[in-house]
Structure 1
Amino acid sequence: MFTKVWQEVKFPFFTFLVWRIFLILVAFISPAFFQLQDNFLGGGKETYQQNPLFWGHLNFDGEHYLAIAQRGYRDLEYFYFPPYPLLIGYIAKLLNGQIVMYAAVGLIISHIAFFLALTGLYKLIKLDFKENVAMWSLTGLLIFPTSFYFASFYTESLFLMVVIWSFYFARKGKWFLTGMLGALLSATRLVGIVLLPSLIIEYIKQKRGLKIASRKSLFLFLIPLGIVTYMIYLNKVTNDPLEFLHTVEIFGFQRSSALVLLPQVFYRYLLKILPNLDYSYLSVVFTTLLEFSVALIFLALSVLTFFRLRLSYAVYTSLAFIIPTLSGSFSSMPRYVLVLFPAYIMIGIWLLKKGRLVKVIYFLLNLTLLIISESLFFRGFWVS
């Protein structure tokens, strides 16, 4: 029994370990690359400077999640969905309740969730492909330029874990578990709601030729309960069930609470944002070019999933890609695409077919971008 389990987790475990050691080394040498920026440092500047290798994981949005975990929601914080900070707060309060405990609990949750996500993705891919595809897919995810967010005080790890295991249990026909996980997913992020149409398609595909309408199909409608519960709470405390949408503009002048279509976003970047970049601010140039490049690549991958992967995977990827762009910006897109696991399956399939030279170039390019991105983040620069 133990041997079988170990065989299932061996590759995810060792790649996770190597990835984590690499990130620690990058964080350690990051002061050699960039000066420290004072704003949005985890725990505040004084706390951060006491242990940058620890508190750097809480920069930017990590500060908001930490605050919510400690004392609950306040105005303009409802953009951050509740499961992650509430879980952190509950566990930390059972312990000593000091700020460092909140931070440690959140980081432990992120690390455990990401390892479980890797293990689940490995198993999920092997339902359709050989093991080498799973290996290359996990590798592609781990070396992606913003993969360090999986080790940070962010929801990426939790979301990825839940969405992968939701699909896995759906593939195994365990619809009640799928529905329960889906409810957690839709409460974790707005894009979690795209799991509903994706898994309805998966259910219909599995029941082809059989009775589609059954009791088990009703379990899928547990998925919206997460976000509906949050909206009920928001209506009670703010009189606006969509408060998380109506405050999106405070997170950047490019973002809009009104819907902006994807072609318009590309138009903005090509004709307004990119031509007017100030190249004296290299960090801004880097993040803007990264945003645009990632948007182009993952748009292509989203389309390709319709031809190479299951329809449910393709629907999830395309909808989860498009929804964040409706705010009118690709800001944070390099982080948002981390949870589009079918895209990394496509990358794994592509890498498997390429020769050694292409693989080496791909690795070096991604690792270079990862070093730059993580170094910027740990030194207080906005990345995604």
Structure 2
Amino acid sequence: MTEDAQHNHTKQSSGLIFRLATLGMLLLAFVALLILSTVPPELEVSLLGSNSSKSNLQGLNQFVSVQRTSFSALQIDESSGKTFQRIASDTPATIRLAAFSYHQVSLKLVFQGDPVQVQANGQPLAALPSTPAFKEYQLYFTPVRLDSEGGPFLVLSFTGDAQISAATLDFSRQWQPFLSDSAYLSAIATGLLTLLAVLSLLPGRFRTPLSGLVALVGGLALSVIGLMLTERTLAAGFSGEFNAVAFWLLTGSALYLTMFGLVWSVIAAPIINKDGYTLALYPVLKTPWLAWQARYPTAAATVVIIVANTGLMFLFYGVLLVNDGGWDVLARYWDGPGYLLAAKTFYDPHDSMLALPGFSKYSNIYWSAHFPGYVLLIRVLAPLLGYIAPMFIINFVATLIFGVVLYRLLKDFGYSTKPLWLSVLFLFLPLRWLLYHSVGASEGMALMFIVLSFYAFKKQQWWLAGLWGAGLVVTRANGIFMLGGYGLYLLWEARIGFKMAQAKTTMARISGYIAAINWRAVAGLTLMPLALVAVFSLYAVRYGDFFAYIKIPEDVKHVFPVPLLSLAVSATRSEGNFYYYIIEAAGLALLWRRKLYDLFWLGFIFFVPTLFMLHDDVLRYSLPAFPFVLVVPYAWLLEAKIVRYFAPIALLGVLIYSWSQLGYNKLEGESWRQMLELLK
């Protein structure tokens, strides 16, 4: 086969693959449109009668049920034969439903007698006039949210001297974000998709700049429609109020339409360039992007890492904000409240905040376990941003710096052939990392200082390595372990560099070995113990005891002389701890085999203490080790192409796990409410 024939064959094959991929995307888009165009089953709750609640959603909606009613027993109106319940003017009749709606709700009320006052969640709804015979009224309202133990509720109150024969709530508009008000969107979307389908199937010679422009505009319009639908479904919320299945179907479909439109208009829309027509925008941008990346690799990597980390935060925070409607669930997760308390009180043992119910159970010196690095940054930014926002902003920036420095570390010292890929991957791996650089915790800053210090150490910038190491020490209590890792490596390096046979006497051997130690590195690293002295000096001023941290009566160090007892602490995490120990130990073995002794000793010094932990959260306390025992040893495996296909699945698993953890281990609500008042 000639070169031209082979080129034409390849071109035809790629064109066929492109069209098949486009048809697949279109098919999924039509499925998404079909889901969005389908009105979900209506939801009605009958409030009166022998069956006090019903829902024709059946098993899909278990949360809609009348919890309590104060209506009197059913009676029969002899003149009309109607069954009714009487309400008295001095005793409001109430109905409490384990249900809620962010959209308009319809209340159908049939009654006779004196005027009836209706309230929904304490807000006046309507004053219905008196009627001599049973008459039906239809009321439309969007209730004010009422939270209580067990979830959001809708409480209806009826006051008057009347007889009510029927009261029915209709929530169908809650799940009609697409067709209830804007049926025309369905027609527009269908037309756009049909147009895009036709354009995608046209032969290349018929494709013109006009068709490319139409596809571009059509894709952008479809993205706008998808975003509008996404906004509607997100406003509905799910969190158990109504049919979560319908919510996620609608949200997923709307987001797919958005992404489909963006992908089509930005990547797949036919455009014109100096070389003629092309099916994708990527070939046009590829050359300048690669040229810019080659000229400014760190800047290009920084852009990718910023985009990746922003996307991660959008996914992680977005679902939580939709579900819970605020940042409270993130800020209340420990150790966030502890760092907020330390930032506000600055370790004052007599501050009134320590008397709050959620904090009073701890000793006054317990808060010295929250080292001041993260605390000081929160306190500095608080006058500008308040106390809550800096927790998340600091961690976001620290994670970005961690990713960029990790990229440079892997690239500059040849630890990886795909350093940017690994840097993005380790923005969410290992398992507890995404959670703890997203909530109020100091792990984000700690990992940033770890890679900064080690990068400077590899560059033989000893004082800078010591400075970043000092930042680690003032941020995390176990940061001083890194000094031990440096020390072990410097001793090992001196052993290799010193030739024992050259010394004739024992004293000569000792003095020669001491002389072989890199004392310039030791001098720079002295900043780390000095930083620890500074932290303890602060505690001496605030608590009157230089060794306050060591004397904390609560077990904050979680260390026990017998190893591997973490496997017996919790049945829910012990299995994971076992396998994580194996993975880390294997990583150390791989480092030793490759003679990467600096990485080995630093990983070793962070790994060994976790073996003696009497705590079930080994994954969290192992985080400082992962740049050494996971990233570099397993780079050869994680760089494989097949890993990229499994990475989205791993990300989904990490997200689901991280979201699930936020339901536990958080400051209780009343203490949090009082704390917010004191933080103002």
TM-score (norm 2): 0.44
Q: CA deviation at 1:85?
A: 0.7
Matching of residues 30-109 of structure 1 within 5 Å: 30=320, 51-52=326-327, 56-57=330-331, 59-73=333-347, 74=349, 75=364, 76-93=366-383, 95=384, 101-109=386-394
Q: CA deviation at 1:106?
A: 2.6
Partner of 1:318: 604
Indicate if the aligned counterparts of 1:167 and 1:199 stay in contact, CA closer than 8 A: no
**Is residue 407 of structure 2 the alignment partner of residue 122 of structure 1?**
yes
Partner of 1:234: 539
**Residue type of the alignment partner of 2:469:** G
**Residue type of the alignment partner of 2:562:** L
Indicate if the aligned counterparts of 2:305 and 2:403 stay in contact, CA closer than 8 A: no
User: For 1:189 and 1:107, how far apart are their aligned partners in 2?
Assistant: 17
Indicate if the aligned counterparts of 2:610 and 2:622 stay in contact, CA closer than 8 A: no
Indicate if the aligned counterparts of 1:27 and 1:378 stay in contact, CA closer than 8 A: no
**Is residue 440 of structure 2 the alignment partner of residue 153 of structure 1?**
yes
| Greater relative contact order (Cα < 8 A, sep 6+) | 1
Structure 2 residues not aligned, in runs of 5+: 1-291, 350-363, 499-514, 667-680
Q: CA deviation at 1:58?
A: 5.1
Greater displacement, 9-18 / 154-163: 9-18
Superposed CA offset, 1:168-212 (max 9, x none): 111112111112222221221122112223334555649947964
Partner of 1:259: 560
Local SS of the residue matching 2:564 = helix
User: For 1:336 and 1:365, how far apart are their aligned partners in 2?
Assistant: 25
Q: What is the percentage of aligned positions where both structures have the same residue?
A: 20
Q: CA deviation at 1:79?
A: 1.2
User: For 1:302 and 1:135, how far apart are their aligned partners in 2?
Assistant: 23
Local SS of the residue matching 2:387 = helix
Which structure has greater helix proportion?
A: 1
Indicate if the aligned counterparts of 2:316 and 2:655 stay in contact, CA closer than 8 A: yes
Q: CA deviation at 1:143?
A: 3.2
User: For 1:66 and 1:214, how far apart are their aligned partners in 2?
Assistant: 40
Structure 1 residues not aligned, in runs of 5+: 37-48, 275-284
Superposed CA offset, 1:86-114 (max 9, x none): 12102323x3xxxx622222322211111
Q: CA deviation at 1:121?
A: 1.0
Indicate if the aligned counterparts of 1:260 and 1:325 stay in contact, CA closer than 8 A: no
Q: 1:241 to 1:355 in 2, by over 3 A?
A: same
- What RMSD in Å do the two structures reach over aligned CA positions? 3.3
Q: CA deviation at 1:155?
A: 1.0
Greater displacement, 226-235 / 209-218: 209-218
Indicate if the aligned counterparts of 1:302 and 1:317 stay in contact, CA closer than 8 A: yes
Indicate if the aligned counterparts of 1:83 and 1:184 stay in contact, CA closer than 8 A: yes
**Residue type of the alignment partner of 2:339:** Y
TM-score (norm 1): 0.75
* Count of aligned pairs: 337
Partner of 2:587: 301
Indicate if the aligned counterparts of 1:265 and 1:328 stay in contact, CA closer than 8 A: yes
Q: CA deviation at 1:83?
A: 1.0
Q: CA deviation at 1:311?
A: 1.3
Task: Say which one has the larger Rg.
Answer: 2
Partner of 1:39: none
Greater displacement, 176-185 / 123-132: 123-132
Indicate if the aligned counterparts of 2:392 and 2:438 stay in contact, CA closer than 8 A: yes
Superposed CA offset, 1:331-355 (max 9, x none): 2x22233332122222322222x45
Partner of 1:167: 454
Indicate if the aligned counterparts of 1:136 and 1:348 stay in contact, CA closer than 8 A: no
Partner of 1:134: 419
User: For 2:658 and 2:314, how far apart are their aligned partners in 1?
Assistant: 10
Partner of 1:193: 480
Partner of 2:468: 181
User: For 1:306 and 1:140, how far apart are their aligned partners in 2?
Assistant: 24
Superposed CA offset, 1:30-65 (max 9, x none): 589xxx9xxxxxxxxxxxx6613x762552111111
**Residue type of the alignment partner of 1:66:** L
